Amino acid sequence: MTIERTNEQDGPASLTIFFASQSSSASPILNATQSTSGDKTTSKDPAPVESTKSINMKHKHENDILEELLELTQGQAVQATQEEEVLVRELEELRKRQEGDRVRQAGVLAAKKRQAEILANARMSVGETA
């Protein structure tokens, strides 16, 4: 199975799925792929395409698109392992700490800027009185 995706804003928002025949599906060679940049790459020995199905993604939520994709491909959602769940929690905690660090750093930079302005104003007032 190969999926083609385009970035055309004006055209239809469709996701096209190319199904290879069962005999060639065991082969790791993809018949066509397209990156989000629009650069198509094709393998040297493409697998024959048995069928093609498309999903209209325009104005649909990502969960609805995933549900339709799983239905078309007869796929199954894979549950996260405990290690992956721990990793997700750690990443979320890291994001929260980073947000706090950003707020503190913004405060430090604002204080330095205020001090620089006060110093510049003091220099100007000393220059005027001299």
pLDDT at 29 over 90: no
pLDDT at 38 over 90: no
Burial of 20 (0-12, 13-18, 19+ CB in 10 A): buried
Task: Give pLDDT, residue 46.
Answer: 56
Residue 117's pLDDT band (boundaries 50, 70, 90)? very high
**Least reliable range by pLDDT among 25-29, 64-68, 91-95:** 25-29
Question: Whole-angstrom Cα distance, residue 103 to residue 105?
Answer: 5
- Residue with the two structure tokens 């790791």: 28
Which pTM does this prediction carry? 0.44
Task: Give pLDDT, residue 32.
Answer: 45
Spatial contact of 14 and 57, defined as CB atoms under 8 Å apart: yes
